[in-house]
Structure 1
């Protein structure tokens, strides 16, 4: 296999960073287009509808990570049949999950509006939006599988092509359906649904090699041991992800108790964390792919090289982001809000944001390493320990330091995740020896 070089890591990471950069643009266009209608209700409806669906679909994010880990290992062993079977198993799970969501849409949406109630007008428009978009559930979830598969094979340019194609088509259809045809909220939903169809069509073409070879792969797809392994890996990742999301949700809710101005400041600063995640994802994904291949090839040296080189770039990215936030943060805050009191409050907590990439980089890179090595039980257990320490830290720090204590607690969570996984890193090398 090809040598693991800095250029190879950047070749994997670069398209992911560019792909992530397109994500916020779509949300801004959706909001901007319905904003041209001159009414507040459509904006709120599209916003709440998108949040409901993204929250539901987020649960299935394990399919992306699990597929990357398992397929990259099969690729490392040179087992092309299993590379194909890994994608097909994930697509079957995506199809079943998506069809289940369609069948359960009435109770799901009822529960969502109970949790996040809205005015009668906004809820009615949001239901129109959801009733169209829910038909894309199998497509959206299957895109997690396709993305994981492409990353495992280092084909991240394909991931970028998918994102650009879907977002570009969505923007064009938004403009046509909403501003041209006057379809309003339903037009935004229809544009997204059609872009998802276009995305899956392109994904099928990009992954066409996995579907060649005839029916002989049916037995491999339903191999009992492989199915059990897939279920275990995905269950562990899902538990870990739910714990992480719960921790972040608790951070947001606890921030609400600090007052309206502080809550607004926190919301502004959270966008910096989103930028950090988008920027550093590519290096974590490169670790997933290269570490997984090394485990499959039983090459401990390659695994160590993959972990070190990808992490070097991750650390460099974290340093640059931290410096950018420290020096340019005040100007970015001023762009994001015009409220003087929110600007002042956000500046007070900016040092935490500058430190966040440096504190969190170990946890992000080790996530990638552990996913590639499919050490998902270890990831889950490390998250359990980290969340317990996080909860204890919050209980002590918030009463003593207020919102500074809240931000310190979040840093404790990320630092603890990095420390707990770092202690378990030798298991990744041991797995490469034992596979």
Structure 2
């Protein structure tokens, strides 16, 4: 790609490892769904869906550890501030470990409350409860991994992210096949596979971080790691990201819960469609992540021209990705659905709602791209405010379309995504152009 302008080459150089690593995530989700979806009873798929939704909420509620670390690290990288680079890693890892241990300590309360909110039939709920008590054990490893990936990405080292993610998800997929297909552990096998894979990723990431630290001048400061005041920049950025992420996950959890309240078939069909939505989102996230690192670097250098070039390049790549995804779902959507389940009622329901899947990438592309831009700018307040407004629009739309059942649910979720995109776009044009 030597013919591409310099900014576009940098975007692609950062994005392709992230895209490849992200692709392993929906592939893992597809394998989870396919392995459990081909068992004799749809309850196992519904249980894994409820359990995975719960942990998306619990774990990604702390996704600010990845995003906030990336934004601050990329700006420190742009300034050439090696002291901040070192201590941002240490502070993020300490926060991640403490939060992970707190999640385990509070797990009886969190799991019970979470599954109560998500609903589902009693027999499905029992299976989801077993899944959850296994999966919560990975909390410290998952949160440490967020901090590590954010730190590496902030230094524009996306190939490390690729290595960690491919290793993690490869282990997870292999263990899915061994534990579920080979040992017939059903939904509990899916949970155990995730726990083992998460700790393998954590060990690998820490080893790579220690290697990277040997190349960064300086030593640790006990004061900067032990004094609460020294964590102020991370807390300032992350408090808005925390609210933003909780609103996003609330929207996703609400979507799953309402599907469960319709019936088990609808819940399972929506789970399959959302796996395909996530497949698109991880592709778009590659260019959003590149925007985080490159916009943050330009902000650290106070170079608005460089920033503009990077944003334009990320925009073109994002549009191409979204258009390609929409075409793929239009042409091959039924085939994807058939790969993930052999249950005829679930397949028929998923296919009937496929048009929403075609529209979604074209609506969502702007929210992903602009999230990356605002993280690089560490303007997290804007991300919080637009997410709150979008969630309010989502709830209002669902309230007036309840009679449409699953159609109203998909309409509301699409509106939620559109409001996010429009809100972030308006703020960017007002504040940063």
Question: TM-score, normalised on structure 1?
Answer: 0.82
Alpha-carbon distance change, 77 to 407 in structure 1, aligned in 2, over 3 angstroms: same
Which string of whole-angstrom CA distances, capped at 9 and with x for unpartnered residues, describes residues 28-68 of structure 1?
66678889999999888777655544432222111111111
Cα deviation for residue 165 of structure 1 reads: 1.7
Q: Does 1:367 align with 2:371?
A: yes
CA contact (8 A) 1:4 1:302 kept: no
Aligned with residue 296 of structure 1, among 266, 288, 300: 300
Tell me how far apart the structure 2 counterparts of residues 269 and 188 of structure 1 sit (CA, whole Å): 20
The reply on whether 1:413 has 2:407 as its aligned counterpart is no
Per-residue Cα deviation, 1:136-165 (whole angstroms, up to 9, x for no partner): 321221000001111111111111111122
Q: Residues of 2 paired with 1:71 and 1:391: CA distance?
A: 36
After alignment, is 317-326 or 206-215 more displaced? 206-215
Q: RMSD of the TM alignment (CA)? A: 3.8
Q: Cα gap change, 1:109/1:407 in structure 2, threshold over 3 Å: closer, same or farther?
A: closer
**Does the alignment pair 1:309 with 2:352?**
no
Query: So what's the TM-score if we normalise by structure 2?
Result: 0.83
Count residues in correspondence. 426
Question: Which of the numbers 81, 90, 93 marks the counterpart of 1:91?
Answer: 93
User: Quick one: which of 85, 100, 103 aligns to 1:101?
Assistant: 103
Q: How does 1:304-383 map to 2 (within 5 A)?
A: 304-336=308-340, 346-383=350-387
CA shift, 1:375, in A, is 0.7
Q: 1:296 to 1:428 in 2, by over 3 A?
A: farther
The separation in 2 between residues aligned to 1:327 and 1:179, in whole angstroms, is 31
Q: What is the alpha-carbon distance in structure 1 between the residues aligned to residue 146 and residue 97 of structure 2?
A: 12
Bigger-Rg structure (1/2): 1
Would you say the 8 A contact 1:303–1:429 is kept in 2? no
Q: SS at 1:60's partner residue?
A: coil
The whole-number CA distance in structure 2 between the counterparts of 1:403 and 1:126 is: 25
Counterparts of 1:130-145 in structure 2, within 5 Å, are 133-145=135-147
> Greater RCO between the two (CA within 8 Å, min separation 6)?
2
The alpha-carbon distance between structure 1 residues 44 and 69, as it changes in their structure 2 partners (threshold 3 A), is same
Shift of 1:366: 0.4
Q: Deviations over 1:96-153 (max 9, x none)?
A: 11121232233334444555577689848954x6555544321221000001111111
The worse-fitting range, judged by mean Cα deviation, of 184-193 and 3-12 is 184-193
CA distance in 2, matches of 1:38, 1:345: 18
* Gap change, CA 1:70 and 1:269, over 3 Å in 2: same
> 1:9 maps to which residue?
11
Aligned to 1:18: 20
How do 1:195-234 and structure 2 match up within 5 A? 195-208=197-210, 209-210=212-213, 216-221=220-225, 226-234=230-238
The 1:366–1:36 alpha-carbon spacing in structure 2 relative to 1, beyond 3 Å, is closer
Q: Following TM superposition, by how much is the alpha carbon of 1:357 offset from its aligned partner in structure 2, in angstroms?
A: 1.0
Task: Quote the offset at 1:292 in angstroms.
Answer: 0.8
Instruction: Give the Cα separation in 1 of the matches to 2:321 and 2:158.
Output: 19
Q: Is the 8 A contact 1:133 1:192 kept in 2?
A: yes
- The CA deviation at 1:291 is 0.7
Q: Which moved more, 1:227-236 or 1:345-354?
A: 345-354
Give the alignment of 1:264-275 within 5 angstroms.
265-275=269-279
Q: Which range moves more in the overlay, 85-94 or 219-228?
A: 219-228
* Greater shift in the superposed pair: 83-92 or 161-170: 161-170
Q: Is the 8 A contact 1:41 1:122 kept in 2?
A: no
CA contact (8 A) 1:318 1:357 kept: yes
For the Cα contact (< 8 Å) 1:81–1:217, is it kept in 2?
A: no
Supply the distance in 1 between the matched residues of 2:413 and 2:281 (Cα, whole angstroms). Answer: 15
Q: Distance in 2 between matches of 1:251 and 1:34?
A: 21
- In the alignment, the residues of structure 2 paired with residue 134 and residue 346 of structure 1 have an alpha-carbon distance, to the nearest angstrom, of 30
